[in-house]
A and B are shown apart, each in its own frame.
Chain A
Amino acid sequence: MSEIILDSQAFQNAVKKVAGDIFKDNKNISELAIVGVHNKGVCIAKRILSELAKLANVGEASINFGTLDITLYRDDLDDFGADMPVIKDTEIPFDISQKKIILVDDVLYTGRTVRASLDVLMDFGRPKSIQLAVLVDRGHRELPIEAGYAGIRRVIDGKVKVECKEIEGEDKVFVL
């Protein structure tokens, strides 16, 4: 049995809420950069980018956008068996210095992915600030990391799964 946390409409509303909150705090879009964490964070980040572009009345291409993969920065690589995680491309095609980075992931859980993401970003340069935006903040933190922006915040037990229209054909968040 799986419990739906966000259906398609609620999913889109959550993305809009996050984008709206980001825009409220960051009117100067030119110093902003949206960076999605592979895999689903990239999908959510693209949605937020699209909403932000609408709110600021600019083309999507005029907002800095990047993707990052944390595999090489994971603290649990020794725990993998012979099968190592597939490394995706990290693409930060802009100078990170002096940018306000909005780091985007789908779910905030232990905080370890975010910790690794911060390490990756710092190795690209010295951003002005980094803020965290997630679709779902599900609690159970193991590190002192909090999201500035979240679609929903709710303590959830079990495995949270996010599906995106672009990948699975439907927007959905559910608990397995």
Chain B
Amino acid sequence: MSLNRKDLLGLEHLDKKDLQTVLDSVKPFKSLFTRSVKKAPTLIGKTVVTLFYEPSTRTRTSFEIAAKRLSADVVNIAVNASSVVKGESLIDTGKTLEAMKADYIIIRHSLAGAPDILARNLNASIINAGDGFHEHPTQGLLDLYTMYEKKKKIEGLKVLLVGDILHSRVAKSNIWALTKMGAQVAVAGPPTLMPSKIEELGVKVYYNLDEAIKEADVVNILRIQLERQQENLFPSVHEYVELYQLTKDRLAKAKPNVLIMHPGPMNRGIEISSEVADSPNAVINEQVTNGIAVRMAVLYLLKPNKARKYASSN
């Protein structure tokens, strides 16, 4: 059982077998959550550093809990209060952390490719916790696992991603993973938030949510980044709400057992109504729980330091 790599930079580079390996590995980690002692000594003596150049609560906390449940020592670096503000380069920051014997570095950065730069220069395992508009692989894996857990399969599943596909790293990681696993992926959103040539990734494009939702087994709602509103990428929040908010009325047009997912944090009343977010179809909180188990599995399956002997970084 292996991912045969030291880093997790994105899902584009994982093949179907790798994705299945992760899916098959999660359950034993999740079962730890139900015990009185929710920890195992698997990573005892290992050091995990979270290096976040962008703000995050849930992803950073999820990684921290995952690492602590495997008994690793965890150091969180808030970049705003670090030497980075004095002008230290990314590679030097990484090398300093490695000199302090970090075994895993979990990085979030506003620039696509930043985790890749670290991975090429360090022996520590690098995990991408979101890089620009590129990928957010552990979110993609936890979405995949949640669908797998609830629907018992991925192949043939009809998954609809709704919202800002253009700027969403979650959407990209979802598309890579789901299409490789044999799901039929569709995207719906305003034309201004749709990447050009997105069809080439094997997805169907809808601009009308009412039409798109009818067939879906899973609807994954993406967060509307309200800051994009400043860039005039959609006419108004009001219009977005009218056309693309997942409301109770729209949900009524979907299959009765449709799964509603959201990577969080939610803008209630914008991309999703409160009624839908709290409906029995929503598995948003389960995604959060699964996120910890999936990240534990990833920490287990990657091999820091010595791994360079057996595998290239991606």
User: Chain A interface (Cβ within 8 Å of chain B)?
Assistant: 69, 71-73, 77-78, 81-91, 119, 122-125
Contacts and interface: CB of A to CB of B under 8 A. Distances in A.
A90 B40 CA distance: 12
Nearest to A123: B37
Contact of A125 (B36, B41, B70, B301): B36
B307 interface: yes
Size bracket, chain B contacts? 20 to 34
A82 B311 contact: yes
Contacts of B95: none
Contacts of A81: 303, 310
Contacts of A125: 36
Contact of A89 (B27, B39, B40): B27
A83 B307 CA distance: 10
B304 to A, nearest CB: 10
Contact of B41 (A73, A83, A85): A73
Per DSSP, chain A at the interface is: loop
Given A123-B37, A123-B40, A124-B36, A84 B27 contact: no
Given A88-B28, A90-B28, A119-B41, 12 more contacts: A72-B28, A72-B32, A73-B40, A77-B42, A81-B303, A83-B4, A84-B303, A86-B24, A87-B25, A87-B300, A90-B31, A123-B40
A123 B36 contact: yes
A89 B307 contact: no
B2 interface: yes
B1 interface: yes
B35 interface: yes
Contacts, number: 57
Contact of A82 (B25, B29, B36, B307): B307
Interface in B250-270: none
Contacts of B36: 123-125
Contacts of B2: 82-84
Q: Which of A71, A72, A83 has the most CB of B within 10 A?
A: A72
A84 B1 contact: yes
Given A82-B310, A87-B25, A73 B37 contact: no
B300 A84 contact: yes
B35 A72 contact: no
B14 to A, nearest CB: 14
- Max count, chain A CB within 10 A of own CB: residue among B24, B32, B40: B40
Nearest to B43: A77
B40 A82 contact: no
A59 to B, nearest CB: 26
Interface string B78-111: 0000000000000000000000000000000000
Nearest to B41: A73
A69 B35 contact: no
Contacts of B41: 72-73, 119
A69 B27 CA distance: 13
Contacts of B310: 81-82
Contacts of A82: 2, 4-5, 303, 307, 310-311
Interface string B288-314: 000000000000110100110011000
Nearest to B306: A78
A162 to B, nearest CB: 22
B27 to A, nearest CB: 7
Contacts of A119: 41
Contacts of B1: 83-87
A84 B24 CA distance: 13
Contacts of A86: 1, 24
Nearest to A120: B40
Contact of B42 (A72, A90, A91, A123): A72
Contacts of A72: 28, 32, 40-42, 70, 300
A123 B311 contact: no
Interface string B39-57: 1111000000000000000
B4 to A, nearest CB: 5
Contact of A123 (B5, B29, B39, B300): B39
Contacts of B301: 84
Contacts of B35: 123-124
Contacts of A84: 1-2, 300-301, 303
Contacts of A90: 28, 31
